[in-house]
Amino acid sequence: MENPTTPVPATPVKDHEIRLRQLEKEIVVYKSNLSKIIARLDKEALTQKKVIAGLKKENMRLKSRADATYSMLKLAGLSPAGEASLESAQDKLWQGEFGVDYVARHFAEPWEKSRIPFWKDMASRVEDVKSVLELGCNIGANLKAIQVVMPDAKIGGVEINPFAVKALKAEKPEFAIHESSILAYESRTQSDLVFTRGVLIHIAPANLPTVFDKMYKLSKKYILVYENFSPEPKTIATYGKASKDAEAGNDFAFYRDFASDLHKQHPDLEIVATNFRPEEWTEKSPLLRWTLFSKPKKRK
């Protein structure tokens, strides 16, 4: 007689049923997890679609703004020659249709992101700057950033293109914007900080000494030079037809070590700080150098 307390061995069929029930539970858990993953991916995809749609919308807005502003300036009745004196072949280029096209393209720049961080850094390096003058200010991306960083500073600019001048004056009537070439601009008023950014590269090398003297004269405390850098002077083939049609000596982009040239011409300037951007340079991107100078303090 069998012992009643002895368990009955499981049959192969019962083992199979137990395993099936286990698998069914695992499938339920898997489906639940899969549903959660799919829901999360759908949510992320929707978010990405919204982000992409937002970027496309912003791009269209900026493009429309640039197109509208360009059309507005075109219809403003300004003569391409404007009122600024024509001093060189480079001035003629920037005062004319090429300059207008260049101005229109810059309306789409998100200057808050591209300019403010740099000017916060510069503000930390200077003392008691109450007035700023930019030579070649275009539509004022730098000046607007400076206004954010130094809200109490008196801001001025010199710009040769009449369309850029009209646009900036309309947007920032509190700025003192002068329509003039840098070579023709004269003023007895000094500013605490005088600077150029991406402008000296468009000045013919023969005219640079005049511009350097002008920057020195116009500055009361500081001079900032922020330009494309090359250890040796070189002319850049750029601007398409404008360069191809240029007469001998009338090219339109020149790279060199502007800060060193300025320092050689005015050795009493003291270098406050200098750096290259980007810091990790490759030959595929232009190397930029900014240098902040201070003028010697006048003896009382």
CATH of the domain at 212: 3.40.50.150
The DSSP bridge partners found for residue 48 are none
3-state secondary structure of 142: helix
Q: Are strands 219-228 and 288-294 parallel, antiparallel or unpaired?
A: antiparallel
Strand order in the sheet with 219-228: 176-179, 154-159, 131-135, 191-197, 219-228, 288-294, 270-277
Question: What integer pLDDT is reported at residue 58 of this predicted model?
Answer: 61
Is-contact 153 132, C-beta < 8 A?
Answer: yes
Q: Where are the alpha helices (DSSP H) in the chain?
A: 12-74, 89-95, 97-105, 111-114, 116-123, 141-149, 162-171, 208-218, 241-244, 258-265
> Would you state the structure tokens that stand for residue 156, as one six-digit string?
């001025």
Predicted local confidence at residue 41, as pLDDT: 75
Q: Give residue 194's pLDDT.
A: 98
Q: pLDDT at position 21, please?
A: 76
Q: How many CB atoms lie within 10 A of CB 130?
A: 13
CA geometry: angle at 283 spanning 280 and 289, to 5°? 55
pLDDT of the residue at 84:
43
pLDDT of residue 218: 98
The answer to whether position 175 is within a domain reads yes
Residue 71 resides in a domain: no
pLDDT at 25: 80
The span from the CA of 176 to the CA of 81, in Å, is 21
- Phi–psi pair at 103, nearest 5 degrees: -60, -45
Tokens (6 digits) for 286: 């232009």
Q: How many helices (H) and strands (E) does the chain have?
A: 10, 9
Coil, helix or strand at residue 249: coil
Is residue 118 assigned to a domain? yes
pLDDT digit string (tens) for the chain, length 300 residues = 445 555 555 555 566 677 777 777 877 777 777 777 777 777 777 776 776 666 666 656 655 655 655 555 554 444 333 444 445 555 555 555 555 566 666 666 788 888 999 999 999 999 999 999 999 999 899 999 999 999 999 999 999 888 888 888 988 999 999 999 999 999 999 999 999 999 998 888 889 999 999 999 999 999 999 999 989 988 876 554 444 444 334 456 788 999 999 999 999 999 999 999 865 555 556 789 999 999 998 765
Q: In this predicted structure, what is the pLDDT of residue 278?
A: 66
Six-digit token string for 50: 């919204």
Is residue 25 domain-resident? no
Cis, peptide link before residue 278, omega less than 30° from 0:
yes
Whole domain around residue 175: which residue ranges? 76-294
- Do 263 and 271 form a contact (C-beta atoms < 8 A)? yes
- 54 in any annotated domain: no
Structural domain total, the chain: 1
pLDDT at position 245 is 42
pLDDT of residue 28: 77
The whole-number pLDDT of residue 78 equals 43
**Is 16 domain-assigned?**
no
Q: Specify if 201 maps to a domain.
A: yes
Q: What pLDDT does residue 189 have?
A: 96
Measured CA to CA, the distance from residue 296 to residue 299 in angstroms comes to 9
Q: Is residue 107 part of a domain?
A: yes
